[in-house]
Structures are given as structure tokens and as C-alpha cells.
Structure 1
Amino acid sequence: MNTPDIQPGIFDITVPPSDRNTYIGLHSGPLWPEAIAQEISLKGGRSYTVSMDLAFTAFYAYRACYGNMAIYAGNAPGDSAELLWRSGPFSHTDWKRYTAVFNPSKDYKYISFWADAAIPCDKSAYGSVVLIDNLSAFIREVPQVVISTVRTCKGVATGEATVKLVSSSVGNCTYKWEPGGQTGSHVEGLAAGRYEVTVTAPNGTSTKAQVMIEETDLKNEVVTRPSLCHGDNQNEITLNTTGGVPPYRYYFNGSQHPGYAGTFKELRPGNYTVIVKDDHGCEDKLSSIQVKEPEPLLVTGVDVKALSCSDTRDGRITLEVSGGVVPYAFSLQPGTWQDNNEWRQLDAGRYYFEIKDKNGCHTNGNTEVLKNDRPCAVYVPTAFSPNGDGRNDLFRAKVNDAVTAFRLTVYNRWGAVVFDSTNPEASWNGAREPNGSYVWVITYTDSKNQARKQTGPLMLIR
């Protein structure tokens, strides 16, 4: 580091001082840096400020290109261990006031002010010229602050902000907030918006900081779960709460005593209201939360077909159902469950039925299939044994009436036709078919000119 000059007068410099009688002149190039230094204690992590008047002259023994001031920290005179601040290139020849604010990263013993020649100059080897006057008598510590906030409740002014000093070495500071003009490190009753606080230290330095007070984002997702069955009163409401300031308090349906869980169980159907408050007192009111349950599972119709004559099994039961949750399942006790609401080929008697819906809700009832006591125009046996013993070897219909348009058809368990005849005297020997269950269907017109249809099961047994 080379020594500066006391101006004016050296190298024909005639710029008058900005303060009193003299000032400092520096000119630097890549091989000739000039600076002034001062022993001073700088603490890492703190903020400092210093002010000075700066000017440029285009000729300082040599032609120059610009002015550029750099401030360094170090542990010896001329030590440029850490760059603290740069003015940036300037060309004004009249005095202008500059204020540097800097934050050393660690402790140092010296501060130095340089004519910074970082930018090449095509006019000479001394491209940077800096004239310095009216340098601050003291390098003062600037208050550094951090600000914490509390969001305001939506639609009201409940926001808060608190300023804390990073270092207490600046002493007791004063505070002023705008808008509002409040003083103090902690302010309350803030509406949503941007605020600026000016923090002034006893040494006269100050710093400004801005903060945004935002509205609370207290939100609730409502999830309802209905009862599985009508009348269970097991409905539920669950609130998934986010935002705001936990923990949350829940005031259910006008209650003055809050709960701390957002799930409400064993509810009857109806409309409910919940007020949710966070720890800052912000609230979200949820009105008319509707809870529904399934309609009652009801048998709305029972259609019963009686046996057509005394010797048949062609009864039928058909159910009509409403409510609950589809799909339904049906059972004719003690039978198995089926998705069909009808049973055919029933004998006379009382039957007990049960219905359940998708959720397992049940209802039941009973009905009776009646027998028509008149003889059947056509009688059909329920089994035969084609084993060649001369007894019951053939399957045939016994016609007791003068019938017309007769037809007998036998189906195996897969629905394939194994016998078909329009001759009332015809019979089926079952020779090519295995033991098992079959179904017969007979259609005819009786002597009263009524169209008839009879069906029934048939067992082939050898």
C-alpha cells in the first residue's frame, strides 16, 4: 500500500475542499495501489456505517479513467483481507456524499480506504483517482434487527410484530412504525398490510426494516361419514384444520365448552354448526354442515303367484325393495343369498325372506304361496329311474283333460334341451343322459281354452 497525498496543490490539483482546508487524494493502478488505514476494532456479524465526500479528477499526475472507492478490513495496515464496501465507478468532479454500511464476517483490527483500480484503464497505468474529504469522525455501529410477526385474523386487526436487536452493544434504541406511528419494539392490533419500522440507536445511526402482516390462513375441510344403516345415529363429522396457530379449539353446535379434536361422532341426521378457533383467537365458522343417513331399507311390494293346480310346484315370490344402499342381496330362508329378487318353482307354504343392502343392513318378512286345489290338466312326476327294472323307467306327462297345443321340453342343468315333444303320449327314456337334476316345461291349452304353462324339477336316478 502506498501513501496518499494531502490536497489541494499536489500534481496541480486545484479542486477546493468540501470541508475546511485540506483533503486526501489517492490514485491507483494495478501495480500502484494507494490507500489510507486506521486501527479500529470491528466485530464480526455486526453492522457499521461511515460517511465521506468523494470526487474525481481526470488528471492526477497521469490521465485517469474513473473514481472508485473500496473499503477493506484486515489485521494490519494495508491488509485487504475482506472487502467491505465499494462505491462503484463514478466520474463526478464535484463533491458528493457517500454513506457506506458494511458487515464484517469476523473480527478485524484495521479498516482501510482504497482507490480501487479493479477496472482496466486505457489512458494510463493509474486509472482510478479518488478525492476524499469530510470523513466521519467515528465509524458507528448500526442496529441490526430481526422481526417476527403474528398473522392477523381475517377481516380484523389482530396482527402483531416484534423487533429484536441482533447485538445489544448499540444501547437502548427507539422505534417508530409506519403507518400508525406506534413506538416500541412490540406492536399489536395490526391489520393486514406492509409496515416499516425505523430503529434509531443512541449513537444516531438508524436502520429501517419492512415487514408484511398477512391474514391468517385458517382453513377447514369438512368430511362427513353417514351411518351405515338408517336409525343407527352413528353419523360423523371430521374437520381437517390447517393454517392459523395451533392448537385449535372446536365449539360444536353452540357449545361454550371447546373440544380439541375435530371429529364428532354418534350424530343424528340434521344440520350442525362448528366454530374453530386457533391459539391466536382467529376463528372460522362453519354453518349448516348437513349430515345425512341412508333411507330406511323397506320391502315395498310382495308379489305372490299361487300354484296353478294341486299337483304342480310353480309358485313364485317377487319382492320390491327401496332405501338402504344398493346393491341388494336376497335370501329365502334357509336358502343362500342371491342378487335376484324372485324365486320360482315353489311349493305351497309359508316362506320367510330376508334382504340386506351393500352396508349389511337387514330387513325381513314372510308371505304364503297358496295351492289351487283343482286337479291339474296335466300331471308330471318329479323323478324316474331308467334302470330297466320295468318300474318307472320312462318319464312322461299324464294328461287328464282334452288339451291342445301341447309341448313338453326337458332341459339339463346347463339349459340344453335333452327332450322335446308335442305328442302328449310321448315319453323320455333318459338313456343318453347322466344321473342328476333336470327341469321340465309344459305348455298347452286346456278344455276351457285357457293357455297354461307348468314347470318343475325332475330327478333322473338309476
Structure 2
Amino acid sequence: MKRCLFQGLYLLLLLLFPVFKCYCQDRLYVVNGTDLGYVDVSNDTYTKMVSLPYLFEDLAITPGGKFYGIYSGAIFEINPTTGVCTLITLTNTVGFSFGNSLVSDRNGDLYVAGDNNLYKIDMTARTIYFLGKMQYPSGGDLCFSDGRLYVATNTNLLLEITLDAARTKIVAQRNAGQMTVKGNVYGIGCNQYGICYVISTLSELALVDLQDATTYIIANPVSGPMAQVNGIAMTDEGKNDKDIEICGNGIDDDHNGLIDDADMACRLKRGACTTESKELFREDFGTGTGFGDALTGLSSAAYQFTNTSPQREGFYSIINNPQLAKGDNTWKSMPDHTGQPNGRMLVINGSVIPGEFYRKKFSGICGGQQYALSFSACSVISPTLSCGANTVPIPSRVRLQIADDNGNILGEIPERYIPVDPNPAGSWKSYGFLFTLPPNLSSFQVILLDDAPGGCGNDLAIDDIILSTCKPVVPILINKIPVNKYTGCVGSSIEFSVDLTGLTFAKPVYQWQKFDTPSATWKNITGGTGATYTLGSAQLTDAGQYQVLITDNTTGSCVGGAQSEIVDLTMKTAPVLTVTAAMTICSGNQLQLQATTTDVPTSAVWKGPDGTNYTGLNAVVTTSAATKNTGDYILNFTSSSGCTIIATTNVTVKDGSNIDFTLSASQVCIGKTLSLQATGIVADGNYTWSAAGSPTITGPHTLTPQFSWNTPGVYAIQLAVPNVCIGNGQITHSVTVNGVPAPGVVSFNPGVCQDDTMSIIVSGAGDASIQWRIGGSPVITGTGDHVIVKWSATGIYPVAYTLTGSCGTLAVNVPQPVIVHPLPTVSLGRDTIICHDAQFFIQPVVSEGVNSYSWQDGPFGSKAGWLATAPSTVKIKVKNQWGCIATSSIKLGEMHCGCDVYVPTAFSPNGDGRNDLFRPVVYCAASKYYFQVFNRWGQLIFSSHNPGEGWNGMVGGRRAEVGGYLWMLEYENPEQPGIIRKTGTFTLIL
């Protein structure tokens, strides 16, 4: 079954009919060269929709149905009906200049990748954000599945990206694997069920397992005029952008009120139980020939039961031979999982829409403990079935959901794809999930769904669904860090502990064990019965394997237990650590301790002579040393393997001298002289002067040198004296050398409406004063680098200003003039009176360039007329192509006219002598008669003051087009003075 979302176009001027477009959930919309089209996955056929003006790199569709494309680093909105592309202007760039991959999220915001960069575009604020660097360059497309973002890289690798809950940065990346298709993958897309499609540049259509990038070619090639697919989008692609729990970060990422291991999302995984277990339930579907009975407890949205062949898509059966259900040899003739005579199994014919096929409620369950759900599955597709050359039938996929008694989903996870196997008798394989229930849950539901797409394939058999307890395997921590292998140092302290997060024990009992190699058995460690076990001063003989067994010292039906992972402990001697034995520094300088090692320490802490601790191998004690900092600094070093080493550095701090120098001024103009005066020096020549900016120095070996510069800037002047303890070995002061004022950067909007204001800002002009010279005699408010300007006359006006600084003046003529656009004009005519219970159509008279209208203070739109039905004051605002606005209004009174007027609703000026003229019939001696006819764009095409004269259907000597037109009539009733206006529409036919 295909489901479509229909989108309607608005009715235009009450003369156009609505047009609808169908977008279906099993269509892959693609950029195919310079065409926009779609691939229907139900028949693997491409259909062109419209030609595009650009060769877009990728395509995205928002939940609201808007199409966007990326071309040459710019985002365009695409009209999928006309192919018209509108540039989206962003308010910033944050370094964004290139992108070849695009996808929409659930909010209609866009994600863009280019090279190794990932960005997010807020489509409401039109702002782009940088999210981080990707491990591999993007090849051409992005998609969301189960809350994670996937990238097709430039080498056909599939990269999985996890974002933080706020979608502001990348928090994790995983190389899922290599997609094996012919050509490059520039198009990848996921539907709302997390099923991922790719189309290669050689027109191969495939499904991709997002766990390891296993690729299933389901069409080769796609039928139709395919060129090169540069992007895929699906109408519901954003629905798989969902909040996901990032386990272990202490944040409720998926906003369900649960954090980390308290969340079912962190308690559910694929896998089989490998520890002690006890079977609680088994569903083997019984035995018997032919069809069995329907399953009970399925939801109303589940697959339907059938006991007749041929079994159709979206139906399941309980039967001892799948071929009997299908009624032909496209399905296998095969036994159930155990091979028992006439053993029945659950057989599913997958649909396009995912469907529930099994649901079971369990009660009296122990919360807080781990369980295993396993099942056996086998494709029923016969190996003789062909879905096309060089293709495979669509594989099946099972999704597990854990729900509470009310059907609320606590967690879900999909299995890997179940492909067709070549064995005519079927090759059963076991699949399974492990999950830990919340502590307060004693009953729950298990739900199994088939969420792969229908078509040629996705038909499978399920057997032996088993629920069992499963003693959990918990991680071991060494020195509070979870590890499977650990290298310790001789003499260090090694603490073993265990992480029981997510498990519930009333009175846990621990027994630590070490593996005894000679006997090949685990032996209890004497005294190792606490939550932690510590080797106080580990030796080489302590190397080996360790584990811990946990039981619950309680009674009742829910007694939990667990066993730890095995950790390998390796022992070694301590690493080499080198420190500086002694160091001398001047007071006022930075004191930084120094140590080096080939190891990566877990801790390095120096203790100073006053007992203060400083962290890091090269810790900074102070940025301004004093004699009080003299003394021994002791380093306590802990290596990556837990070794502790002690080392010492002796520090001597010498007092500094009072040498300094002064400047005759803090600022100087280029070419002018700056005088310096050194102090604290007893004789000339025992020092060195230097400065940046290549100055000319007069008297370089005197106490009073002079400097001058030819280039403006801020320059450091240094005085160095040998064998004297001064800061950093030299005294430094800075001077600012000014030139003529810098021109600065002027910014303003180059266009403004008449009688509107605009800001003109100059930045980077420093302290210079500004005198403005602006053409057009505008009104200027404000002073300095920011003025507000308003022009009363239209035109193109130059902008200039003069900068005056301490070192001269500079006149600046801005190359970009200001264009003052004219205001539009609009008139609704004179106030008038309309007949009681009559309609009056108001057609404004506007100036050229008006393109949008606002009636009665409403939003601007393309509606150029207003239909009044009662006395009122009608107001209008119009806007031209420059955004300039004008207003008008008309007051409508009301009267009982007493003079009937008849105006036809259609006429046919075809020369047959019947209805060849369009004119009103007034049943009274009306005066001040004025009759007008307008086309649908509001242009006057006929008028007359003669009551007997009508329009013959000609415009400019040519026959007018068939269609709708507007008429307007003014007249005065002889019985009651005052102009009466009436309007209406009619149709010209032939």
C-alpha cells in the first residue's frame, strides 16, 4: 500500500482551480543531472518531474514539504512543479563556502556537509552554525536514522555521527564500513522507519545495513532515463531525526525523564546470553498439517492473519510449510527451526509499511534484572526467485519493542537484516536481544515488527521465540577506570571495583577470584569479599586474570546475581622521569617547573616550599616570581600504569634591578621624533636599544636616544642590559605611531525608500573626527561614525566624508552611491455608497512596480482586489519591488437603491447575433452613468458613459482571451442622490 501526502496550491483571484501534487512515502526524490525526479521503489522506475537551472550537488525535503538544493555553496528553495529556484540568503557564513551533502531534520532545519566540515542551518533565522570536523570528507549526501546522522563519504565509507541533545556539536563518530556498489554513492536517504537507501552513480539501487554498511542491491539498474544521481531526499526523512539517549553523560538526552542506565535505551542491545540463564517462556507455534490458528493479543495495526493461499503482503500465517501458504514455488518448502515433523512456524509476507507480527505480555517478572529474548528466523524466498539481473530480493528486518502494560514503548532496537539464503530447505539462524528491566517493573510486553520495505522479497519465517533470564556481565574498574586490560607498576596501589549501574541488589555479596594457570581454574582470593579489592603494593607475581562474582544475600522469588568481565593485569617497572635539578630566575619573571617523561601520567603534582600544590609536569607556580618562591619543589608523579615517582627541583629567585626608561610621548606622528630617557644605569654603552618598525635611532649608546618611524603602527621598544636581573632580560614599552587617518570601512544599505531612514556607519577609523558630505540634501541626524539619513527626493546620491586626526586629514569618496527609490502610489477612489445587501469589488489603481498588497492591516500577499459586502472603511497598503510602502482607504456607505440593475455573468462575442455585447441593463433613468471592464490583472480594457453601449470582446483590435473578467458600474438613482457603485465578475466564452 502506498500512502501519499497531498499539497494544494492556493486559489488565485477566484479564477483558478486548485492543483494538487502527490508525494509518496516509497519515493526517492533525486537530483538526476539537471533534472528533478523520483524513483518509485515499488517498481524501481525513475520518472522525471521538472528541469532545473543548476546542477545541484544534493537535495533535501523538510517536513513541511519544501524542497531545497545546494549548488556552489549556496542554498536554493526548489519549486518541484515549475523548477524555479530561489536563493536563500543566510545571515552569516562561519567559514561556510562549500557543501555537497544536504538533509532536513524534524524541525525543517538543514544539515550541510562539505569536505570534513559539518554545519547546521536554522531555516527560521537563516543562520548557519559549525558543528565540527568529520573524520572523513563527505562524498555527497546525509541522512537521519534512529536519531543519528549518517554520511556517505567520498570513498563510499558510511560514517555514523552522534550529535549532542542541543544539536550544537559532534560528540561521537563511527566508521560503519564500506558500501559495496558500482560507482560512487552521492545519494543516500532514510524513510521514517530508519530504512536506508542508496543510489550509485551507475544507477544501482540498494538497501544499506547501518550497523556495518552491508549493501543489498535491489535494482540494477534503475529503469528510466537516469544520468547521475547527486542526491536523495524522502518526504518523511526528518521523522527519523529523534532524540536519543547518549549513555554515560549524565544528561536526559531523549527527554523522557530518565538518565543514562536508568533509561531503557541504555539497557537494550543486540546479542545472545552467554552466562547462566533460565528459560521462562517458549513459543514454538505447535505442530500440525496445514494452517494453524491466529495469534492472540496483536494490536489493531498488526499484520492480518490468513489461513488461505496465496498469502498476500501484510498478512501472516501459522503453517508447517511456507510453500503451502504461498501456493507456488517462489517460497521454500522447508521444516520449522527444530525440524520436528509437521512443526509449525510463523510466516510473514512483508508489506511496504512496517507491521507488528508478534506481541506477548509477561507478568510476575523481577524488575532490575537482565533478560534475553531470542528467536530463530529464516528467509522463505526460494533461491530460484529472480528480482532482476545482478540483484537480490529485499532482506527482512525485525525490530524489538519493550512496552509497559499500557503499550507505552520503553525502548526499541532493530535486528540486523535477514537476507535470502541459497538453501532450498532453509537455513535457520538465531537472533536475540538483551535487556534489563527498570527495578519497579514487574510486567511488560514484547513486540516484534517487520520494518523492511515490501516488494520482491522481505518474506520470512519465525520460530522458537524464547524469553529467559540472563545473568548480566558487568564491567570491572581498576582505580575507578573501566578496563579489560591494565598495566600496573611494581610498588603501586591497584584497586579493583565493579560497576553495577542499572542492576538492583538488596544485599550484594562479592567474591573476588584470580585465575590459577597450573590448575586452569578460578580460585577465590582470601579476604576478597568486599565491593572493592586492593593490591596495596603490587608486585610482578600479582599479574594475571581477575573477576568477581556477585550474589544477592536475600530470599524471595527475585534473587539477582551477576558476574564481572575478566580483566588482565600486567605488571611492569616504573617509567623514566627527568626533572631539572636546580634553576635560577629573576624576580618578576614567570616561574615554571620542568619535567619530562615518555609516559602519559594520570597525575603529576608539585608541592612547593610553603605546601602549595601545582598540577602538571610543567606547572606554572607564578607569573611574577619573588624571593619567597625560593626553595625545594617536590613532584609526586603517577604513571599511566599507576606507578608513583618522587623527584625534586631546587629554585632560586634573584631580586631584580630598578632599570627602566620613559617616553616623551605615548603617541607620535610618522617622521616626528620620540625622545627616551633611561634610568637606573650609571654609564652609557652598557645596554642595547631596539624597536620594531625599523625606526631611525639617534644616539643609540646614550641614556637619551631619539627614535622616528616612517610607517604607522604600535611598536615595542626594548632596553636590554647584560648581567642584570630584569624581567625577561629586557625592559619593554610601547609607542603608537600615527599616520594620516585610516579611511575605515563604510557600511550601509545601498537602497532606501523615499522619506525612510537608513544608517551609515564607518568602522576602523580610529579616533579621527568625521565630517559627512552626502548628496541629495538629506536630513542627517547623529554625528561621528554613525549617522541616520533621510532623503525627500528620489535619485542616486554620492556618499563622502573627511577624516581629521592628530596627524592630518583624509577625504574618502565611497564608490557605492545610495539609491533612493520612489514610493509607490495607490488609490481606492472616492468614498461612495453601495446598495444594501450588494457586493462591491474594490480594484486599486497602483503605480508600476507594485507587487504585493495588504488589506485591512493583514499580511502582504498577491491579492490585488477586495470584495466588500457591508458598509465599512477599507484600507490598503501596497509594496513595490524595493519594499517601499504606500497606503490608501475608502469609506463605503449604504443605501436602499430602489433601482434594479441586471448584469450578465457571461457572453459570447462570436458574431452569431446572440449575446455579442456585454453591457448592464438599468431599470431606471440613471444619471452619471460610468461602466468599466477590467482583465484579471486589473488593467482597464473598456469604458463607457453611454447606458446603451457595451463591450464587443475586442481589445486593441484583437479578440480577447477566453476567461474571467471584472466589471464596475457607477450611476446615480434619480430617486435618491449619490453615486452608487457595483462590481462583479463574468466569463467570456465562444
TM-score, normalised to structure 2's length? 0.23
Q: Does 1 or 2 have the higher relative contact order (CA < 8 Å, sep 6+)?
A: 1
Bigger Cα Rg: 1
